[in-house]
Chains A and B, each alone.
Chain A
Amino acid sequence: MKKLVAMYLLMAIALCTLMLSPLSVAAEKKLTIAFSQSTMNHPWRVSLTNDMIYWAEKMGVDLIWNEGQNDAARQLTCVEDLIAKKPDALIMTPLQSKALTPVKELCEKAKIPLIVVDREIVAEPGQGMYVSFIGEDQVEEGRQAAKLLVTKLTEKYGKPKGNVVEIQGTIGASPTIDRKKGFEEVIGRYPDIKLVATQSGDFLRGNAMSIMENYLQRFPKGQIDAVFAHNDEMGLGALQAIKAAGRTEMVGWICSIDGQRDALKAVLDGELLIVVQNPPYFGELGIKTALAYLKGEKVPARQWLQFKAFSADTPESRKTTQEYYNYLVANDLMY
């Protein structure tokens, strides 16, 4: 009896799974593009995937995709599954560079053009089936955050001077390394601007909030001037800690990176100093590049996604920020 019930249950589950998975009925000759996402555990990743789906539909190609559940070995398996379906092209955003480099070999064997977005693999794009790399200059993002901060500190003290605390992203992750590098490169030119503390908040709002609470204990009023958070979630967490502690002198002295909607709102409200965009929108350029290559056109080996910086420092910058914020609200987008 028990076995029977178990069997029925299994059959029911199998049936449901079948019904939920889109049965690929052989339709008219439409191009199929495969997309391998590394993880869906962050809204930024979810937005990237949604953007891929959006542009695939808009450009009339079939998109098959899966995700590696934040595990490089798992993503490799997922890529193999995708390749087994013989897509016309593969777009991948690797979890880690080295671990997913074998994908290039897989694509060479299967003769499927590969486009890598966001993070790189250890191979030169533009050779063999590795058609193109589309990235973002995260070092430049760090630089831009620092530049406005230097200007503001100079306004405050009459010369470039001040103490900055940093809340890093996940230690060892490439965005952390690059953003820190760019920020420190600019700050390093001014000996009187000092990075007085740096801790890792793992890109999470709650961690950053705790770290900021602890910073505020260690540095009483007047001892620190600004915060550099490696992403908006952490910038907003720091802001909450600052407000809760009543340290109003720090409000409006936070720099962060990513460009998410409520961070832009905080910029407009004068609570964040600058938010540098790190858009997840690889869909359009990624799929266009794939289609261009399949048509036999020549595509650039390396391409960079454009990004904006949002502040409310000048009337023009406020206008840009307001417009982009309105656009996000109107389209119900996160970034």
Chain B
Amino acid sequence: MGMQWLILCAVVIVGTVLSRGVFIAPTNLINILRQSADVGVLAVGQTLAIMVAGIDLSVGSLLALSSVVAATLMRDGHGIVAPMLIAVTTCLLFGGITGLSTGFARIPPFISTLAMMGIARGAAYTYARGQPVYNLPKEFLAVGRGSIGPIPVQVVVWLVIVLAVLILLERSRWGRYILMVGGNEEASRLAGVNVGRVKLLVFAVSGLTAGVAGIIVTSRLNMGAPFLGMFMELDSITAVVLGGTSLNGGEGSVLGTVAGVILLGMMNNLMNILNVNPFFQQAVKGAIMLAAVYLNITRRRTVVQ
């Protein structure tokens, strides 16, 4: 079991004691999952990007693009399913462009995704003329607000995506290739792996997950807006790192990322519940992050030794 799960348990115990039981209430735990689903979906794609020794800075902007495309088409009366599909496909294609520029034009991912961060954000603002879109169809709101049994719909979506990527990583040769490319790009090229194609796949998937996250946020807020998702790329990277994936690539775990996302969600939730001074919250978050990553690193060192 990874260190992140132990930290998670510690947070749960401390949180329960400090909040006199409010924190552990089932409704609150469901709350945390519901609030984490959007970052959770983003972080799945981010995990892949970081596994190939890359990073995806464009996911927050792609989320906004997905949001305005879906919301505008819905407002204009094109139903629900088609707008969702078009929005997600758009993000998949934008992710594909990043994949091409990273995988084949060999532009470093930090730069290519930084460029895409600007392109997608600009596209979202232009498409929506800078304004949010309100009044979405009632049936669409079920995505972000409805639930299946006690589990919110967006949490189910998150689980499905996690499972799909787990299968991709564990059961297909692409999973091996992703880790190989992340571990040693040149060696995998010599071993006959088509590195460009692996990166194309990774960034396209990251675009896709960003698109899905955009749909979730839009439905939850009942609003599509070009300014959504700012700094969410950072949240997703934080979650991946908290989850034990190394920024050097070549290793990592999607389930670890899930733990990282929940840890982030719990910290936010707990600080609200305990009414921690907002001035101080960011510092607390930073400190917990440092501690968590440090524990992860020291543990990895001992394992290696």
Contact = CB atoms under 8 A, between A and B. Distances in A.
B131 A215 contact: no
Interface residues of A, number: 26
A217 to B, nearest CB: 5
Given A205-B221, A209-B221, A41 B273 contact: no
Interface in A191-236: 197-200, 205-206, 209-211, 213-215, 217-218
Interface in B121-135: 125, 129-132, 134-135
Contacts of B278: 168, 171, 198-200
Contacts of B31: 213-214, 217
Interface of A is mostly: helix
B88 to A, nearest CB: 19
Given A210-B268, A218-B19, A218-B273, A46 B130 contact: yes
A27 interface: no
A42 interface: yes
Contact of A334 (B22, B131, B217, B271): B131
Nearest to B281: A200
A240 B222 CA distance: 9
A80 B198 CA distance: 46
Contact of A206 (B135, B217, B271): B217
B104 to A, nearest CB: 13
Interface string A5-46: 000000000000000000000000000000000001111001
A262 interface: yes
Interface string B255-288: 0000000000000110111010011010000000
Interface string A152-174: 00000000000000001001000
Contact-residue bracket for chain B:
20 to 34
A161 B72 CA distance: 44
Nearest to B20: A218
B272 A43 contact: no
Nearest to B121: A41
A68 to B, nearest CB: 15
B220 A43 contact: no
B28 interface: yes
B145 interface: yes
B68 interface: no
B239 interface: no
Contact of B272 (A42, A210, A244): A210
A214 B135 CA distance: 25
A214 B220 contact: no
A211 B265 CA distance: 12
B227 interface: yes
- The 7 tightest CB contacts between A and B, nearest first, are A214-B272, A200-B278, A46-B130, A217-B28, A197-B275, A210-B35, A218-B273
Given A210-B269, A213-B31, A244-B145, 12 more contacts: A40-B130, A43-B132, A43-B225, A198-B278, A199-B272, A199-B278, A210-B35, A215-B272, A217-B22, A218-B275, A237-B221, A240-B221
8 contacts: A46-B131, A171-B278, A197-B275, A198-B278, A200-B278, A206-B217, A218-B22, A237-B221
Interface of A: 40-43, 46, 168, 171, 197-200, 205-206, 209-211, 213-215, 217-218, 237, 240, 244, 262, 334
